[in-house]
Chains A and B, each alone.
Chain A
Amino acid sequence: MTLRKWVTVIALLTPGLGLIIAMIGTVVYMAIAQSFGLYSLLGDSEFSTEFWDKMLGRRAYYKSVKYSLYIGTFSAILSVALAYPLAIWLRKPFKGSLAVGAILKAPLLVPGLVAAFLFINVISYNGILNQFMQWLGLWDEPHRLQNDRNGFGILVLQTWKQMPFALLLLTSAVQGISDDILDAARDLGAGTFARFRKIIAPMTISAMQAALVIIFIGAVADFSFQVIAGPTNRQSLAQFMVFFKDSGRWHDAAVVGVTLMGAALFGSALLAVAARFVLKGGRLK
């Protein structure tokens, strides 16, 4: 790498990455410092590890971390898993594909908060889903589906909202694969799944990783869905953090916040690497 190349690279990175590092880097630094007792917003600042010590002793903390990671991972995997077949199906335009594409992407247009309240409406105790199941005779009485213990409600909401995003990314990637390769593979006897695994997946890895990473981070940090439709016996990291912040315990909130950032960054990196590993047939390159 010559000096000239470095200068070019840095010049290119400045307007985008540079701004991010300058602005958000400062914010992140403030959050980390706060978790160690410094930069106190409302009280006195002094360095201390007591907030971390206390937090690591709380059971609620570990439950939060596990729960958020679980939501993040499964939301990302489900969204991408659903988006792939749809993207492949929509690869070549056919009659009605424009309408189908638009319908599938419609959830992107619905604000998250509204989606949550619509969802609660549908699954409420005497709501339409319960009434339908009783009418079908499958259930004798209404089932309490809201705020379910396993967070299935959240997973459904996240997938509903995020799948179109994955679809958007994967469609453009999948459309870039030329027919020659796929035809040749079919002629050579490769079945549908083999064609997916050996050709489509490796060639769209980058888009898939981008989708996985962004959806994972969004789902791990989810607050509004969790507060409305999430299980009431555990809190997501964002919810847990707001719990401290609302009672004025900013340093504890910062500890949870730093954990959230760490979990999001490293979890997503892990997920991206794992996905690459799986789809490239057990090789990392």
Chain B
Amino acid sequence: MSQSTINKILLYVLIAVCALWLVIPFTMAVLWSLVDPAEPWTADKLLPPVMSTYRWSHMWANSSLKPALINSYILAPSVAVVTLILAAPTAYAFGRIQFPGREVVKLIALLPLVVPGFVTAVFFTSIIFQMGLHASRFGAILFAHSVILMPYAIRILTVSFEQVRQDHIDAARDLGASVIERWKVAYLPALKPGIMAALLIVFIQSIEEFAIAFIVGSPSFVTVPTLLFSTLGQDFVRPNAAVLALILIVPNVIMMLILERLLKSANPSLSSGKG
């Protein structure tokens, strides 16, 4: 079979799977968000008995929602960029320099990932308080997120640095390119997908992080997870959670499409001229 036929078949299979994987949960979420408080939607009815947009207007009028959205969507990209900058030198060392103890140190870099949630919540935040960083809540959370999300950036960028082709670097140097030009031509094309991936992952993790953002930020700096956990924690108020989830999807989708476009244009093999 030709490649394009295979592609078509796989595409249809994928669409079928996606119906289960994505469409159904999302449709359920939309339906849940339309449940009117007059009559709860019990599982035996196919559709909610009374539908209205009450939940949407109620949630939108919720005084914390807009500040939470603004805070989270300014915080997360900032965290992504700062983390990337801090992680890059370490990733370079891991990816391109052979030094004794490298594998052990690579493992140590994963430490923030393995520290359990509440340990970070209570102990790390109290260290932040001790260091006096909480004078700016935003700054403190930015710093804290960067530290705990660093392993993602380090790991992803390490993989990218490893993929930079030595012959490209050598060729560029031989042709007399300056350090900056060498970076642009030899390093950057291989790094771009990794940079985009790292930015995306750190962004998403920061958007979802609750413990630190709540302890350091509350009460004046509200983030989206605070609102989400508040709604989903004690009471699992399904309709309100559905509305929140759907509201959250929109900016995420936009970010995703932007990054996907940038990623596509960053295909390293395209830049090397070969398939």
Instruction: Answer whether residue B150 sits at the interface, using C-beta atoms and an 8 A cutoff.
Output: yes
Which applies to chain A's interface (DSSP): helix, strand, loop or mixed? helix
Within 8 A of A (CB), among B104-141: 105, 107-120, 122-124, 127
Task: Give the residue of A15, A27, A100, A245 whose beta carbon is less than 8 angstroms from that of B11.
Answer: A100
Out of B10, B108, B264, which one reaches A20, CB within 8 Å?
A: B108
Q: How many residues of A contact B (CB 8 A)?
A: 93
B155 and A20 contacting across the interface, CB-CB below 8 Å: no
Is A25 an interface position by the 8 A CB rule?
yes
With A12-B93, A19-B147, A31-B123 in contact, is A113–B228 under 8 Å at CB? Answer: yes
Question: Does B75 lie at the interface of the complex (its beta carbon under 8 Å from any beta carbon of A)?
Answer: no
Question: How many angstroms between the C-alpha atoms of A20 and B155 in the bound complex?
Answer: 14
Query: A218 within 8 Å of B by Cβ?
Result: yes
Q: How far is the CA of A210 from the CA of B3 in the complex (A)?
A: 30
Nearest residue (CB) in B for A238 is: B116
Whether the pair A102, B124 counts as a contact (CB closer than 8 A) is no
Task: Tell me, in angstroms, the Cα distance from A23 to B87 when the chains sit together.
Answer: 15
A55 adjacent to chain B (CB < 8 Å): no
Across the interface, which residues of B come within 8 angstroms of A16, CB to CB? Answer: 86-91, 109, 150, 153-154
For the complex, what is the distance from the CA of A163 to the CA of B74, rounded to whole Å? 27
Any A CB within 8 A of the CB of B186: no
Q: How distant is the Cα of A5 from the Cα of B99 in the complex, in angstroms?
A: 9
User: Is the CB–CB distance between A210 and B158 below 8 Å?
Assistant: yes
Task: Determine whether the beta carbon of B152 is less than 8 Å from that of A214.
Answer: yes
User: In A79-99, which residues have CB < 8 Å from any B CB?
Assistant: 89, 92-96, 98
B97 lies within 8 A of A110 (CB): no
Contact residues in B for A128 (Cβ distance below 8 Å) = 24, 28
Most buried by B among A25, A171, A206, A221: A206
- A153 on the B face (CB < 8 A): no
Interface residues on B, range: 35 or more
- Provide the residues of chain B in CB contact with A117, threshold 8 Å: 232, 236, 238, 241
Interface presence of A188 (CB below 8 A): no
Q: Is B7 close to A, CB under 8 A?
A: yes
Cα–Cα, bound, A103→B13 (Å): 13
Minimum CB–CB distance from B35 to chain A (whole Å) comes to: 12
Kindly state whether residue B57 has any CB partner on chain A within 8 Å.
no
Are A118 and B25 neighbours in the complex by a CB distance under 8 Å? yes
- Nearest Cβ on chain B to A178's Cβ, whole angstroms: 5
Which residue on B lies nearest to A93, using beta carbons? B264
Quick one: CB contact mask for B149-190 with A, threshold 8 Å, 1 for yes?
A: 011111110111011000000000000000000000000001
Contact between A89 and B115, CB atoms less than 8 A apart: no
B115 to chain A, nearest CB (A): 6
- Contact between chains at B116 and A113 (CB < 8 Å): no
**B124 touching A20 by the CB < 8 A rule?**
no
Which residues of chain B have C-beta atoms less than 8 A from A106's C-beta? Answer: 22, 253, 256
User: Does A114 interact with chain B (Cβ within 8 Å)?
Assistant: yes
Question: Cβ of B269 < 8 Å from any Cβ of A?
Answer: yes
Known A-B contacts A13-B90, A20-B111, A117-B238; the reply to A172 vs B116 at CB < 8 A is no
- Of B159, B162, B207, B257, the most chain A CB neighbours within 10 A belong to B159
Stretch from B48-56, B58-66, B196-204 contacting the other chain: B196-204
Residues of chain A within 8 A (CB-CB) of B115 are: 24, 27-28, 31, 261
- Bound together, the chains give a CA A130 to CA B226 distance in angstroms of 33
Asked if A15 and B90 sit within 8 Å, CB to CB, the answer is yes
Contact of A214 among B148, B155, B245, B260 (CB under 8 A): B155
Q: How far is the CA of A26 from the CA of B232 in the complex (A)?
A: 32
Interface residue? B234 (CB, 8 A): no
Q: Are B116 and A257 in contact (CB under 8 A)?
A: yes
Q: In the complex the two chains form, is A109's CB within 8 Å of B249's CB? A: yes
Q: Which residues of A contact B42 (CB under 8 A)?
A: 126
> In whole Å, how far is A241's beta carbon from the nearest beta carbon of chain B?
6
**A138 at interface by CB-CB < 8 Å:** no
A-B contacts besides A31-B119, A109-B248, 19 pairs, CB < 8 Å: A9-B97, A15-B85, A15-B87, A15-B90, A16-B86, A16-B109, A16-B150, A41-B122, A93-B264, A109-B249, A111-B245, A118-B245, A122-B24, A172-B163, A214-B155, A221-B117, A223-B117, A264-B114, A265-B107
Give the top 6 A-B pairs by smallest Cβ distance, nearest first. Answer: A179-B275, A16-B90, A126-B43, A172-B193, A109-B252, A264-B114
**8 sampled A-B residue pairs with Cβ under 8 A:** A16-B150, A21-B111, A24-B115, A24-B148, A26-B123, A105-B260, A114-B245, A264-B113
